[in-house]
Structure 1
Amino acid sequence: MDIKACSGSTAVEMGRSVEDEGGSAAMRTTETLLRILPMALCIASLAIMLKNSQTNEYGTLSYSDFGSFKYLVHASGICAGYSLLSTVAAAVPRPSTMSWAWTFFLLDQLFTYIILAAGAISAEAVYLAYNGDEYLTWSDACGTYDSFCRKATASVAITFSATLCYVGLSLISSYRLFTKYEAPVAYT
């Protein structure tokens, strides 16, 4: 057996395993871009909410007056950091191992739910600010603090856009993980 022929086939097999295991270059590029996009969206949502404050004759209203908006700020910052780290990890071509697939799968799921929860509770706060709640004798605040409400609505909408990106990432990481397993054998 020729050593050159053997080493040549090993290099091809190794190259193929990197390509097959890690996905095609187009798939890796798509995943990398899909990991960058929620980072930008989370930073935009975070910036809008951090600057969200309005003062008028009735007083000052700031995002920090609402626990849900504080959670949105924290969750957006954490998710932006995760997106940056996961973008770097996903952009580097290497063989995809089972542990990497499980790590991406679990983290993508976790951060999808974190950002979804932040968007949901902030959307509830925005809804109450626009409509109030007669049962709790809360009046609507957006008639008085209209600029605050518009910025909060924009931040929540951007957060839900980031959530959609994380859902897409969760689908990709799920696909990459579960294609590593064999189909169950049918017993007849």
Structure 2
Amino acid sequence: MRDGADTTLTSSNEHHQILRFLEFSLRLSVIPLSVASLWLMASNKQSSDTYGKVEFSNLSGLKYLVGINAISTGYAIASVLLLCLRCFNSDWHLFISDQVMAYLMVTSGSAVAEVLYLAYEGDRDVSWSEVCSYYGMFCSKIKVSLALHFAALVCFVVLSLISAYRIFSKFEAPSVLSEELGEQG
């Protein structure tokens, strides 16, 4: 009987270590993904002889993505440092923070996806023509930055799932008494 309990404890400990390693790896992965997305977008500008110069700062959706990438980079660095120093052990804080970051990244990614769609397709109803045929490099950099941003978003979604699992696995499912089952059935 004792051997079974020891095996379960060892298996649970290995499972916990695998989750910690995955969590740490994902938090580290967010940093270069967010920095690369931020840098590509913040340095994005192009000039056209016909239509002039366009920069990321001309469009609020692109500025929003840069800001959210800066915040996600700072949060990822802080969370990695706190986990390394083991001075922080609040699963609830990480769960809520990871959720907030994932939601912010969804909103900023969606805003840029809309800007990119309009840049490629235009909107005839309001007399906007497509601009990517004139600013091809600008649009290409937006696509790459958006892809990096969504890769970081995937990391935060998985981190949210890990932190949710860690919190909710501490609780047992509510028990149902056999009398209650007999009354309902």
Instruction: Tell me the TM-score normalized by structure 2.
Output: 0.84
Q: Which residue of 1 aligns with 2:24?
A: 32
Q: Is the 8 A contact 1:28 1:91 kept in 2?
A: no
Q: Which residue of 2 aligns with 1:13?
A: none
Q: Which residue of 2 aligns with 1:166?
A: 156
Q: Which residue of 1 aligns with 2:4?
A: none
Q: How many residues are paired up?
A: 167
**Cα distance between partner residues in 2 of 1:162 and 1:95:** 23
- Deviation at 1:91? 3.4
Q: Aligned residues: percent identity? A: 37
Q: Which residue of 1 aligns with 2:98?
A: 108
Matched letter for residue 44 of structure 2:
N
Matched letter for residue 46 of structure 1:
L
**Cα distance between partner residues in 2 of 1:91 and 1:27:** 15
Q: Is the 8 A contact 2:64 2:108 kept in 1?
A: yes
**Residue by residue, what CA displacement relative to the aligned partner does 1:79-137 show, whole Å, maximum 9, x if unpaired?**
010011111223345895xxx11111100000000011111110110010000000111
Q: Please, which runs of 5 or more residues in structure 1 have no aligned partner?
A: 1-15
1:130 is aligned, of 117, 120, 128, to 120
**Residue by residue, what CA displacement relative to the aligned partner does 1:48-104 show, whole Å, maximum 9, x if unpaired?**
0011000121200000010000000000000010011111223345895xxx11111
**Cα distance between partner residues in 1 of 2:93 and 2:88:** 14
Instruction: Tell me the TM-score normalized by structure 1.
Output: 0.83
Q: Which residue of 2 aligns with 1:68?
A: 61
Q: Please, which runs of 5 or more residues in structure 2 have no aligned partner?
A: 1-8, 181-185
Q: Which residue of 1 aligns with 2:3?
A: none
- Deviation at 1:156? 0.7
- Deviation at 1:182? 2.0
Match of 2:54, SS state, is strand
Q: How well do the aligned residues superpose, as a CA RMSD in angstroms? A: 2.0
Q: Does residue 48 of structure 1 match 2:43?
A: no
2:111 is aligned, of 109, 114, 121, to 121
Over 3 Å counting, the alpha-carbon distance change for 1:73 and 1:95 in structure 2 is closer
Q: Which residue of 1 aligns with 2:72?
A: 79
Match of 2:174, SS state, is coil
Over 3 Å counting, the alpha-carbon distance change for 1:163 and 1:179 in structure 2 is same
Matched letter for residue 82 of structure 1:
Y
Matched letter for residue 65 of structure 2:
L
